[in-house]
């Protein structure tokens, strides 16, 4: 289905004035013909005038249905006896065929901030108008297994807008529900390709080479791939995906505590390694300076004792208590 824009229909004000003038003429005709009939004038012209005036007063209300008002960033898809005739897109006061009907299957469907698709019981939308504004879909958090099988919880926010009203209305049953389901599907497809943290021997790009991609460290790349995945499906519904962002990312509660301990252990190991590397460097520097300045002549046994003492002091997690030896080292 190809979108067809209706131009040259902004005659709403003129049509309204004509309809009101015809109603005024019909009322005047009814009053005049009634007075003439009351005087006994039953000529055919008077009877025809009365019949036409009464008929217009009854049927003329139908012509008000052809008046359409559009605000900025609104559109109206029109059909005539089931046939698509075009879309009104620009703001203004329009007059169209009064037998035309507007179509929008998603008029009462709201994508709430929780991400659930709900149907309002109270009409919050003006008729079947389609919003062309940029809207945000904040889907609810999903529990998905990453490429290593670890369950994680992740949520995304998708900025989107309708670009082709004909596709949005006629190609899918409900374009808002369709978009919500495609966001969930694309999120699962992409997240399953990445580990939560950087892991060895993991190929996230599909080129057969291990890389450092991860959900936590490559959030921009992951969001871009999710956006492209959604756009491939949403194009059929006349929807443009402007941006996708990860709004929430964490391990699932059942393994969160274990993974926290793992991260803490990795941090402790890294910190200890840095401390040991620094301590060894400081001991080496101390021995070199003592030897260069000939402060004291140490044999191998004394060097070993000094290295041991310095490493204990530098690598210990608590403050050391000095012991003063006033005698011989032996």
- pLDDT tens track for 59-98: 888 888 889 999 999 999 999 998 999 999 989 999 999 9
What end-to-end distance do the CA atoms of the chain give, in Å?
Answer: 98
| Of 71 and 139, the one with more pLDDT | 71
Which range is most confident: 121-130, 162-171, 274-283? Answer: 162-171
Q: Which CATH number fits domain 109-251: 3.90.700.10, 3.40.50.1000, 3.30.479.30, 1.10.10.10?
A: 3.30.479.30
Residue 114 belongs to what H/E stretch?
none
Task: Give dist(CA 133, CA 147) in Å, integer.
Answer: 37
Quick check: pTM over 0.85? no
pLDDT for res 330: 52
Nearest to 183 by CA among 239, 130, 107: 239
Question: What is the three-class DSSP state of 152?
Answer: strand
For 6-39, how does the pLDDT look when each residue is reduced to its tens digit (9 = 90+)? Answer: 887 888 899 999 999 998 998 998 888 888 887 7
Contacts of 109 (CB under 8 A, 6+ apart): 117, 118, 119, 174, 176, 177
Which range is most confident: 35-44, 110-119, 169-178, 309-318? Answer: 169-178
Contacts of 4 (CB under 8 A, 6+ apart): 84, 85, 86, 87, 166
Q: Structural domain boundaries of the chain?
A: 12-102, 109-251, 257-315
DSSP 155-176: EEEEEEEES-HHHHHHTSS-HH
């Amino acid at each position: 289905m190809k979108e067809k824009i209706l131009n040259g229909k902004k005659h709403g004000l003129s049509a309204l004035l004509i309809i009101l003038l015809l109603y005024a003429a019909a009322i005047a005709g009814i009053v005049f013909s009634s007075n003439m009939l009351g005087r006994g004038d039953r000529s055919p012209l008077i009877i025809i005038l009365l019949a036409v005036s009464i008929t217009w007063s009854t049927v003329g209300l139908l012509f008000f249905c052809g008046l359409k008002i559009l605000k900025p960033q609104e559109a109206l898809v029109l059909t005539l006896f089931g046939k698509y005739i075009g879309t009104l897109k620009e703001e203004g006061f329009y007059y169209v065929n009064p037998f035309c009907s507007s179509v929008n299957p998603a008029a009462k469907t709201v994508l709430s901030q929780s991400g659930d698709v709900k149907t309002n019981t109270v009409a919050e939308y003006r008729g079947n108008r389609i919003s062309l504004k940029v809207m945000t879909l904040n889907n609810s958090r999903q529990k998905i297994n990453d490429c290593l099988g670890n369950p994680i919880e992740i949520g995304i926010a998708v900025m989107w807008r309708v670009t082709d009203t004909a596709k949005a209305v006629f190609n899918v049953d409900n374009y808002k529900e369709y978009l919500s389901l495609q966001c969930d599907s694309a999120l699962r497809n992409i997240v399953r390709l990445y580990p939560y943290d950087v892991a060895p021997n993991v190929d996230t790009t599909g080129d057969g080479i291990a890389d450092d991609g991860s959900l936590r460290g490559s959030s921009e790349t992951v969001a871009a791939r999710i956006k492209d995945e959604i756009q491939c499906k949403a194009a059929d519904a006349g929807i443009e995906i402007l941006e996708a962002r990860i709004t929430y990312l964490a391990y699932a509660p059942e393994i969160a505590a274990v993974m926290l301990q793992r991260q803490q252990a990795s941090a402790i190991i890294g910190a200890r390694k840095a401390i040991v590397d620094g301590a060894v460097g400081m001991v080496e520097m101390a021995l070199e300076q003592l030897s260069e300045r000939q402060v004291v002549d140490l044999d191998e046994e004394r060097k070993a004792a000094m290295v041991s003492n310095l490493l204990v002091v530098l690598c210990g997690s608590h403050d050391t208590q000095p012991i003063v030896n006033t005698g011989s080292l032996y």
